[in-house]
Amino acid sequence: MRFTKMHGIGNDFVVVDWRDDVKLPPAERIAALADRHTGIGFDQLLSVEPARDPSCDWYYGVWNADGSPSGQCGNGVRCVAAWLYREGVIARDTDVRLESPSGPVTVRVLAADRVTVDMGEPDFTPSHLPFDAPQEASSYMLDVDGTPVTIGAVSMGNPHAVLEVPDLGDPHLENLGPVVTGHARFADGVNTGFALRVDRKTIRLRVHERGSGWTRACGTGACAAAAVLQRRGLVDAVVDVSLPGGTLTIEWHGPGHTLWMTGPAAFVFEGEI
């Protein structure tokens, strides 16, 4: 299998070209390839495939390091766009519709290493995550081993819980991340973001990802944190979200508008396994 190793602010990927033939390995094989000691090592496997939706140019698939599929990957879609640009099949400064497992997104390659993406409108409907809650709200109380924890919940094509915290270095977060990610009220699991609001234009964020654990960055996590805090009126429409691996700019003008994410995409090496 030939592959391209890429990353988006430290969230790392193996990108495979399945435009001619889809060769999906079983989940155990994906997990073996993701192993950082005995495989290639990656947070997500991304495939590039022919689009199923005729309104889109290409489809991309997303699998976590444990082999589980996901509906979306924010850092990944920028890498897929940069990969397609390097292949010469999409142009710069041009809107291109790509099909993710959760539906179409629009990408625009700004430079060989920088991409902006229309990620669609944040979806706060609990059943769409799915999240077990009687009605939509900007905050929910989650019982975590007898302790109430306040979360926001939103889908960016994949499910996110966002917790506002005063200290990203709090050692309790190491345990809280995996516990929220596997909480029974999220039937399919959830990506858990810990957000520290620095000011109206800046959020600092750490994400424990469903299926991949703590990552250096999560693009949809950055979108989710900005959307949840914006909905509570705490940040501006344009906000920089800083993760351990780097910074993304998120722009969302509220309900009825789609959300834009802008950031880098980097090539690391080509390989064959």
The reply on whether position 220 binds ligand LBFN2T5F by CB under 6 A is yes
Tell me whether residue 209 is annotated as binding. yes
Question: What is the length of the chain?
Answer: 273
Helix (H) or strand (E) holding 81: helix 74-86
The reply on whether position 12 binds ligand LBFN2T5F by CB under 6 A is no
Binding mask 57-86 for ligand LBFN2T5F (x = CB under 6 A): -----x-x-----x--xxxx----------
Closest CA relative to residue 97, chosen from 89, 107, 84, 87: 107
Report the catalytic residues: 73, 218
Q: Decide if 33 contacts 63 (C-beta within 8 A).
A: no
Helix (H) or strand (E) holding 78: helix 74-86
The reply on whether position 192 binds ligand LBFN2T5F by CB under 6 A is no
Tell me whether residue 215 is annotated as binding. no
DSSP class per residue in 241-267: EEETTEEEEEEE-STTS-EEEEEE-EE
Name residue 6's beta-bridge partners. Answer: 13, 267
Angstrom distance (rounded) from CA 247 to CA 249: 7
The reply on whether position 120 binds ligand LBFN2T5F by CB under 6 A is no
Tokens, residue 12 = 């790392």
Count of Cβ atoms closer than 10 Å to residue 86 Cβ: 14
Closer residue to ligand LBFN2T5F, CB minimum distance, 185 or 210: 210
CB of 158 to ligand LBFN2T5F, least distance (A): 3
Instruction: Using CB under 6 A, pick the residue from 12, 16, 44, 240 that binds ligand LBFN2T5F.
Output: 44
Binding site for ligand LBFN2T5F (CB under 6 A): 11, 43-44, 62, 64, 70, 73-76, 158, 191, 209-212, 215, 218-220
Annotated binding site for substrate: 11, 44, 64, 74-75, 158, 191, 209-210, 219-220
